[in-house]
Amino acid sequence: MAYQSEITHSGKQFIGGERVAEGERTLVSLRAVDGQPTGYRFYQATINDAELAVKAAEAAHLAYSQISSDKRAAFLEQIATEIDALGDEFIHLVMEETALPEARVLGERARTSGQMRLFAQLLRRGDYHAARIDTALPDRKPLPRPDLRQCKIAVGPVAVFGASNFPLAFSTAGGDTASALAAGCPVVVKAHGSHMGTAEFIAQAIEKAAKKQHMPVGVFNMIYGSKIGADLVQHPAIQAVGFTGSLQGGRALFDLATRRPQPIPVFAEMSSINPVIVMPQALVVRGDKIAQELVSSFTSSVGQLCTKPGVIIGIRSTAFSQFIAQLVHHVEQCSAQTMLNYGTLKSYQEGITALESHPEIKRIGGQMKSQTQADAQLFQADISLLINQDPLFQEEVFGPVSLVVEARDESELYRALQGLQGQLTVTLIGEKTEIAQADALSQLVMRKAGRLLINGYPTGVEVCDSMVHGGPYPATTDARGTSVGTLAIERFLRPVCLQNYPQELLPETLKDSNPMKLLRLVNGVYTRDPL
């Protein structure tokens, strides 16, 4: 089982720097357009494969977590370089497996390598250490204070579940993997079954980077198969989980993790309907423009974005009625599009059927014309469903569909918003004067979502220090984290306090001399000065 340094196809697991195959080669990569094989076949991971992968990550943890921030940064930058170097064969394979257009694939690749470089910048900047020092006060009365120093350390091996809708940016080398590696945590990735070939290319790029940067063997591992996720989450060496997918899948992993003898955190991004609240003056001034932009947003990428506007809410008026008619018009102009895979299309069709069968929801735009592609749809729902937290209304339908909700007045709008469950985003669209008077509305929706937008659209998530891609349940299982942006590293770190430690045993972050020149909180004052 020798290490393979070139980009090749073997279909084997990535375990401890080697390609391993114990199970059967029964997993087939399929083209998204017609469900036909791409020619790539993969071995189903066995329980023993999962065990070996986790053991390899566990063996790498101590050495990798002790590697300097600069060396980890260089590793992440090398990963970015290797991903950027993947050629046309890779691009065409991603397009085959996902039906994503070339421009989207190239853009997502740039985002994937870009977030690796962003975490490298964070590592060199050093603020993620959050160093705090309270020096000893031996003469303090009535009791002396010991020397106390706090920093953050890696939690341990992390299991990462690849996402279907972002084969690059939320999968093998996505934000969960990037932030875990940045934190000093080895990873075990479970490749998503809808783009296994893409995952294999990316995994080999990561392995090449690890070898070139002399990283510990086992810092990165990846296995294939749909039946192995529970074994990963329940393995005692796994210390955290990153997941992007359905509410059902994320909740199942969360429940498994909480039932372990040692419960661990699961950071799962799951379900969000991302309400857009359209205010009255805006409808009068630019209703058709808003309608056109909204339809473009919820049909973008065939509605397969976790920030897709799934609900459009407004207050009853002549302008709002005209706005609904404009939404219908723009939906009717949309063409059917190919979804990521047959399973996603089937789920979309089932979601549409559920909406059609609900007595208080009616289709007002679009039709289910194609059996092999997704047609854009627009439904109108009674506001009581939102007020009463109807479960059908709360869970997103993944695809190019949105629901319109009409409130009789502002009071009913507030009642509906109070019924909202947790969301990734909430958007307010309004004119300057009405936005300026929307403080109460802003405070209400701030309790419901991780990102609040004004006069924009939630599709498109900037990868930067300030971004929050998270929110209260069921948007995620832990509203304190984010899966996009540098704050994502916090999910895979834990604070540790060192009391009366000699200088020789202190990490560089906490030594008196401050060799890393970090901004540290020393006796209540932020400073870069040595003690």
Active site residues: 269, 306
How would you class 457 by CB atoms within 10 Å of its CB: exposed for 0-12, middle for 13-18, buried for 19 or more?
buried
Determine the Cα–Cα distance for residues 74 and 60; give it in Å rounded to an integer: 18
Q: Number of helices (H) and strands (E), helices first, in the chain?
A: 16, 21
**Residue 496, strand partner residues:** 151
Structure tokens at 37: 């094989």
What contacts 152, CB < 8 A, 6 or more positions away? 128, 129, 130, 493, 494, 495, 496
Q: State the Cα angle at 430 between 476 and 434, rounded to 5°.
A: 115
The DSSP 8-state label assigned to residue 193 in this structure reads T
3-state DSSP of 379-416:
EEECHHHHHCCCHHHHCCCCCCEEEEEEECCHHHHHHH
Burial class (CB in 10 A: 0-12, 13-18, 19+), 390: middle
The CA-CA-CA angle for residues 368, 373, 376, to 5°, reads 50
- Taking the C-alpha atoms of residue 489 and residue 245, their distance in angstroms, rounded to an integer, is 20
Strands 449-454 and 423-429: parallel
CA–CA dist 137, 85 (Å, integer) = 56
Angle at alpha carbon of residue 487, lines to 484 and 490, rounded to 5°: 115
Q: How many residues does the chain have?
A: 531
- The answer to whether the beta carbons of residues 246 and 39 sit under 8 Å apart is no
- Cα distance between residue 378 and residue 478, in whole Å: 31
**Rounded to 5°, angle at Cα 184 from 180 and 185:** 55
